[in-house]
Structure 1
Amino acid sequence: MIRVLIVDDEPWNRDIVKTFGTWEKLGMSVVGEAEDGDEAFRLTGELAPHIVITDMRMPGADGVELLQALNQHFPDVKIIVVSGYDDFAYAKHAIRYKAVDYLLKPINPTELNAVLLKCKNDLETRAAEQQQEKAELDYEFFHKLTRYKQLLRLYFNELNQDGVNMTCRQVMQELERLGAPSQPMLGRLVQELLSLLKELALDNGLDTPTAKAGFPVSQDALSSVEHALGFVSACYSQELDQLIRQRKYKNKLNLEEVRRYMDRHFAESITLEQLAKNFFVSKEYMSKVFKQEYGQNVTDYIVERRMEKAREWLADKQISIKAVAEMAGYEDVSYFYRVFKKHFGMAPGEMRKEV
């Protein structure tokens, strides 16, 4: 419903406007009346009308002052000026402060409803444009979020608390850059980040109650971007601390856990150094015991897992070879071709023809 405020120091003039307007047909409602510019400005702040219909000559703050104040503080409000004086000076003020139209008394019902319809059309057009702008901003933000989630995954798996906190803050700063987010959008973002955290915790063998059940979000956590940042960062810190304790204080290295970790993260940039650091052993020890247990070194095991998955994905002809390379952890497609051919003795395209 489009809200309308009528401003005139004479009650019968306000009644005439109320009588002549086809409010219901236009989807409008008169939400308030004011006798002067000061009262009108106050009611505009309280009632948030979409349209203000105002006389020009009033005691106290007149129409000129009201137009100036509305233009400065409520620029989206549509203003219709009504005056009993065919005065060019008033018309100039109406134009300067972007009034939709300037009507002379006595009001013609047809002219009044025509200009109300124009306001309605303008408001609906602007609302549609704002909705489109919001949708585009939402898409832009959540598209960028994909990259931030990749960084969070990397830093979490590296047990890098500073990196996690820095990325969470960058996400929130990106959101603020697009303007004050709505609570639903902020809630969606928080859930996206917490869903990722649950996945990361379970992937790394954490079986804490919160990791299993998820992270309950309070209304206070969604009251502002800063509160949301604090809540999400605290959740990530809690699970990271638990993971570090779990790995650091085990009596001995669990090679099956190491292998499962590599199976889950084979498409990421896993190095022997990083793997050893994550499991709190030296890289020399990690290399030695892994080869003793599985008959191959860490690098060869990762390549083998990547090639097995690449062969599996090639069977689906809807997935491009470039996409298969990226999914397997190779940004350089040419390098992927060389590794694949060395491993299987044929190029990916030849393999695809055979499956």
Structure 2
Amino acid sequence: MKALIIDDEKHVRDAIRLLVDWSKYGITSIHEAKDGQEGIALIGEHKPELIFTDMMMPNTDGAGVMEWAAKHAPASKLIVISGHDDYRLVRNAITFGSIDYILKPIEPAQLNEAIAKATEELRKEEQERSRSRSIAMELKRLKPMYVEQFFCSVLNEPSAHAAMSEEIRRELRLDEPLRRARVALVSLELSSPAVREKFAASGPDLMFFALTNITNEVLASREAGYAFRYWGKEQELVLVLWGEGELAPDESLKAVNAALRDTLKTRFVFGLSEPLAFPVGAGEAYEQAKLALLRRNVLGRAVDYVLYDEAAAKRGNPLLSFHEFEEQIRFAVQGGSKDHIQRALGAWFEHIEKSGFVSFEQLTSWQGHFELTKTLWEQPGSGSEEADGGTGAEEALPCNPLRIPVTAEGRFDYPAWKDAVYQQVKLVSDRILSKDKERGVIREIAKFLEQRASEDITLQDVANHFYLSREYISRKFKQEMNENVSDYIAGIRMNRAKELLGNRSLKISQVAEQVGFQDEKYFSKVFKKWTGCTPNDYRKGHYGE
């Protein structure tokens, strides 16, 4: 803090300096003036928080200083130092809010008490100002959220918020309440790779913050509308357009795209509604904008917006004819030939290109179908040689979902999309071929076990023979054969034992030995566990006495 001592007597100014421990009160700078006129100049220049003034001075007296300070430095605290115990002077001091009226000669205790009181008031006032600034900042931060909440609720329940239009008019500084407006909509699913990468670490909230700020700067400068994030619609930015935005939306949306291109190096295509009554028509306008966006031709030329067309909305667009090509593509996938896959997909791509039309709605619908189809291709019964003997839970995991590719300019990247489709289909094909190869290995292992079931063979022996890990064989054998290796070997031995028991010339011990058991009692125990009866009982029951 700074202090100013105004007195025409130097020894008084020196006394005030010496009698106070200034650092104790947080005062780091002290200025002096020899009369009121010089004091006023220093107040204007240094803006001291604490002002000491004499009352009787040449040029401008103390009353004049306090009157000027009350108008031009009202936050400063005044302390009068006077040699005159005059009621008129005291009244002037009180009138202009002096903290204290100290008579000369100065009493140190009274002076320090007055300074302590003044600095305490300054501290409290600064705290109050700080609190007020915090409240103002919070209100400023919450204001966009309040406006955003209003517009989101208008889209959900247009008729319920007509009464709030006047309040929003004042908030947005509109000359009159909104009566008509358009809605423009943009989907961030078609945002450029540069934008996605820029906000990858910070997440979608910061991206929406940047987009709405840039858009609202443009709209506010043209008094053309307001942009906000539609709560519950994670990928949608909504613009309510009025004034120029309603009458000449092309100019406003071009300006928005220009600002986005300059700042974020991207642009968007907006779906745009017809002008409708506001707020009662807001929900309908939003649906119109959404349909315009969904059903635009993403293969068409670059535009800033697509206007809703009622006839086209009712008619809709035929979905991509994937069904008639699916079987041909599936055969190519299961065959595994790169050339066959390219030819099968090429026939479908050619069909698309001849139509010259692909909508965002078609892309998203086809994408869902494609994700399901990829999974079905890998499921048992999909056309591969044999059904998977296990649950297939691990083997049928879907590939990474296909993302709709976008150019740096924010346009649908059709060549990249075709390549991504091919890569996804080829990946499924590789997985199916890999599974078929694994099935072949497991079948070979099963045949190996059948041939050596009577031997004392272990899982490690199998692993060594096929150059595979025990863990891999155990896991894959269980998936393919629906039982583990030891149970499979036991099953072969028990079935062989049942056949040998039909030869009555063989003793039970000989049967046990021939199927790989050296201990007759252990063989009988295992046999009973598998069949529910002893070897002797089985022989009697199936082959007679």
TM-score bracket, normalised by the shorter chain, equals: 0.5 to 0.7
CA distance 1:285–1:72, shift in 2 (3 Å): same
Instruction: Output the amino acid matched with 1:289.
Output: G
Q: TM-score, normalised by structure 2?
A: 0.36
Q: Which position in structure 2 is the counterpart of 1:275?
A: 290
Q: Which position in structure 2 is the counterpart of 1:28?
A: 27
Q: Which position in structure 2 is the counterpart of 1:203?
A: 188
1:36–1:59 Cα contact (<8 Å) kept: yes
Q: Which position in structure 2 is the counterpart of 1:289?
A: 316
**Matched residues in 1 for 2:288 and 2:219: separation?**
32
Alignment of 1:134-283 (within 5 A): 134-149=133-148, 203=188, 205-207=190-192, 213=198, 238-240=255-257, 247=269, 271-278=286-293, 279-280=306-307, 282-283=309-310
Instruction: Output the amino acid matched with 2:106.
Output: I
Instruction: Output the amino acid matched with 2:68.
Output: A
CA distance 1:42–1:202, shift in 2 (3 Å): farther
**Matched residues in 1 for 2:253 and 2:142: separation?**
22
Please, which runs of 5 or more residues in structure 1 have no aligned partner? 155-168, 175-199, 215-227, 254-267, 302-355
Secondary structure in 1 aligned to 2:79? strand
Secondary structure in 2 aligned to 1:53? strand
Secondary structure in 1 aligned to 2:307? coil
Secondary structure in 1 aligned to 2:28? strand
User: How many residues were matched structurally?
Assistant: 226
Secondary structure in 2 aligned to 1:146? helix
**Matched residues in 1 for 2:314 and 2:130: separation?**
56
CA distance 1:211–1:77, shift in 2 (3 Å): farther
How much has 1:55 moved relative to structure 2? 0.7
Instruction: Output the amino acid matched with 1:120.
Output: T
Q: Which moved further from structure 2: 20-29 or 270-279?
A: 270-279
Instruction: Output the amino acid matched with 1:274.
Output: A
CA distance 1:130–1:90, shift in 2 (3 Å): same
How much has 1:212 moved relative to structure 2? 6.4
CA distance 1:287–1:271, shift in 2 (3 Å): farther
Q: Which moved further from structure 2: 134-143 or 7-16?
A: 134-143
How much has 1:239 moved relative to structure 2? 3.9
Q: Does residue 85 of structure 1 match 2:84? A: yes
CA distance 1:34–1:277, shift in 2 (3 Å): same
How much has 1:100 moved relative to structure 2? 0.6
**Matched residues in 2 for 1:16 and 1:123: separation?**
24
Instruction: Output the amino acid matched with 2:192.
Output: D
CA distance 1:170–1:289, shift in 2 (3 Å): same
**Matched residues in 2 for 1:151 and 1:77: separation?**
43
Please, which runs of 5 or more residues in structure 2 have no aligned partner? 154-168, 175-184, 200-215, 223-251, 272-282, 294-305, 322-360, 365-545
Alignment of 1:24-103 (within 5 A): 24-103=23-102
Q: Could you tell me the percent identity over the aligned residues?
A: 24
**Matched residues in 2 for 1:269 and 1:38: separation?**
70
CA distance 1:44–1:151, shift in 2 (3 Å): same
How much has 1:151 moved relative to structure 2? 7.3
Q: Which position in structure 2 is the counterpart of 1:106?
A: 105
**Matched residues in 2 for 1:202 and 1:233: separation?**
24
How much has 1:210 moved relative to structure 2? 7.3
CA distance 1:102–1:291, shift in 2 (3 Å): farther
How much has 1:284 moved relative to structure 2? 2.7
**Matched residues in 2 for 1:23 and 1:280: separation?**
71
**Matched residues in 2 for 1:132 and 1:118: separation?**
21
Cα root mean square deviation, aligned: 4.2
Q: Which position in structure 2 is the counterpart of 1:13?
A: 12
Larger helix fraction of residues: 1
CA distance 1:173–1:237, shift in 2 (3 Å): farther
Q: TM-score, normalised by structure 1?
A: 0.53
